Amino acid sequence: MKLPDTQNASVDMGVTLEECRARCLANCSCLAYAAADIRGGGDGTGCVMWAYAIVDLRLVDRGQNLYLRLSKSEIDGRKRFPTLLVATTLPSAVTILLVVFMIWWRRKNRIIGAIPRNPTMAVPSVSLAIIKDITRNFSKSNIIGQGGFSIVYKGQLPEGRTIAVKRLKQTALTTKGKNDFAREVEVMVGLRHGSLVRLLAYCDEGKERILIYEYMQNKSLNIYIFGSGESVIHRDLKPGNILLDDEWKPKIADFGTAKLFADNRTGHDQTIVISPGYAAPEYVRGGEMTLKCDVYSFGVILLETLSGQRNGSLQRLLSQAWELWEQNRIIELLDMTIVPLPKSEPEILPELKRCIQIGLLCVQEMPDDRPAMPEVVAMFTSTTSQIDWPRRSVLDSRIVMPLNLSLELDTDHLNPTAIEVRSPSSRSSYCCLASNQSN
């Protein structure tokens, strides 16, 4: 402590510090005292006493002790001050905590009501006004894609970040559509994977149902295989919902995959939405959803990438691939932009043939015959390991399923009938007998 100004002080070098203390206590005008000389160490000697006013008092390093003279009432008041402070502030603090808790509880219930069955909500909700601002009120010039149930807009955040805004069409906001929206948010919140497009926020305000995703700069794989075209978002895996970021890293977007992840490993879907050419046979036949459905779709995409052809509703690409495989002419399936291969890289041809073989393994008729996705990854990463020989099913229902054939039979006047469906190549046929006595 730097001692105060000595203008109102008295100095006596002939007394000790203890005697100085006694003098200060006996003098009603004394406000403080200190040693006059501290060079000898200890408490020092001499006495400096201040009366009436203490001026220019500062706290400094290597200062000197200053002793203040206080009344007993001031000392008792200071002792009671912490208790008084706690007694007055504790109820206020408890009240504030209760208010904060009630606000948090109401907000939590509101989120749970909008997104059911989600105990760990980590995606914020955004107001409709903010979304309108970043999409220029859903301007048509901001549209980057649309499907049967939604429109995707490009948006710009104030800090410059680009995002993708998926807005459900009003015609899709049925009870099922709202449930699908809630499920998609619920599932995407729980998924943290580098190959899934990340959900950033959502909006559930009035009649609007909106999802905000990270923006994929290079759009979908569909464009680079088949060229630009109308983007239709479906439930199953297909090139149209494999997006490429600015580093050409593929990420799976959509939107319908949430239903596959949310349910158990197997299940049945009563409302079948088919993307022609990509849906697995067991899904088309009975709505059965398994992880092997994704394997099938992946195999179709792989063969499309290598051949540069669409599979389409008639499954012509798969039929052609199986024909060429059985005739040992599978290299003819490759895209002409890939072949002829440079003579300096002859090892590429076996690698491409191996990729086609993996694709055919993935599109085998029976789910149990298809490899699991970890096995598919291992086939690509370990190019020296042996892989199974793909088998084409005798009952190749891929030729029949896409025809969407619907038969209405009058069971009251049904005579013995034979129905035969023959494949385009006439290699196989299927016969079904229906018999009933007419009345």
**C-alpha 207 chain-centroid distance:** 24
Shared-domain flag, residues 189 and 307: no
Q: Is 269 a catalytic residue?
A: no
- Residue 46 in any domain: the answer is yes
CATH at 148: 3.30.200.20
Shared-domain flag, residues 197 and 252: yes
**C-alpha 400 chain-centroid distance:** 38
18's tokens? 């203890």
Catalytic residue among 180, 204, 236, 396: 236
- Residue 84 in any domain: the answer is no
- Contacts of 14 by beta carbon, 8 Å cutoff, 6+ apart: 46
First to last CA, the chain: 118
- Residue 313 in any domain: the answer is yes
Question: β-pairing, 143-146 with 45-51?
Answer: unpaired
Shared-domain flag, residues 258 and 304: no
Shared-domain flag, residues 327 and 380: yes
For residue 4, which of 29, 25, 33 has the smallest C-alpha distance? Answer: 33
- Residue 338 in any domain: the answer is yes
Are 360 and 299 within 8 A, CB to CB? Answer: yes
CATH at 333: 1.10.510.10
Q: Which domain holds residue 138?
A: 115-218+228-262
Shared-domain flag, residues 245 and 297: no
Q: How far apart are the C-alpha atoms of 310 and 328, rounded to whole Å?
A: 22
- The number of beta carbons lying within 10 Å of the beta carbon of residue 231 is 17
Q: How far apart are the C-alpha atoms of 357 and 351, rounded to whole Å?
A: 10
> Binding site for ATP: what residues are annotated?
166
Shared-domain flag, residues 129 and 151: yes
Shared-domain flag, residues 123 and 212: yes
- Residue 289 in any domain: the answer is yes
Per-residue pLDDT of the chain (439 residues; tens, 9 = 90+): 677 777 778 888 888 888 888 888 888 878 888 888 777 555 678 898 888 777 777 777 667 888 888 776 655 555 555 555 555 566 667 778 777 777 766 654 443 343 333 334 467 888 999 999 999 899 888 888 877 788 899 998 877 889 999 998 888 788 888 888 888 787 777 766 677 788 888 998 888 999 998 888 877 776 666 654 443 323 457 787 788 888 888 887 764 444 433 343 445 554 545 566 888 888 888 777 777 888 898 999 999 989 988 887 667 889 999 999 999 898 888 887 766 555 556 677 888 889 999 999 999 999 889 998 888 888 888 777 788 899 887 655 444 343 333 333 333 433 333 333 333 333 333 333 333 333 3
- The SS3 of residue 42 is coil
- Reported in sequence order, the residue ranges of 269-322 that DSSP labels E, i.e. its strands, are 288-289
- Residue 373 in any domain: the answer is yes
> Binding site: what residues are annotated?
166
Shared-domain flag, residues 159 and 289: no
- Reported in sequence order, the residue ranges of 79-221 that DSSP labels E, i.e. its strands, are 143-146, 150-156, 162-168, 199-205, 208-214
**C-alpha 13 chain-centroid distance:** 79
Q: How many domains does the chain have?
A: 3
- The number of beta carbons lying within 10 Å of the beta carbon of residue 21 is 17
Q: How far apart are the C-alpha atoms of 433 and 20, rounded to whole Å?
A: 124
Shared-domain flag, residues 239 and 290: no
Are 298 and 414 within 8 A, CB to CB? Answer: no
Last residue of a domain, one of 34, 50, 69: 69
Shared-domain flag, residues 371 and 236: no
Shared-domain flag, residues 232 and 302: no
- Residue 243 in any domain: the answer is yes
- Residue 416 in any domain: the answer is no
Shared-domain flag, residues 257 and 270: no
Q: Is the dihedral of CA 381, 382, 383, 387 positive or negative?
A: negative
**C-alpha 112 chain-centroid distance:** 18
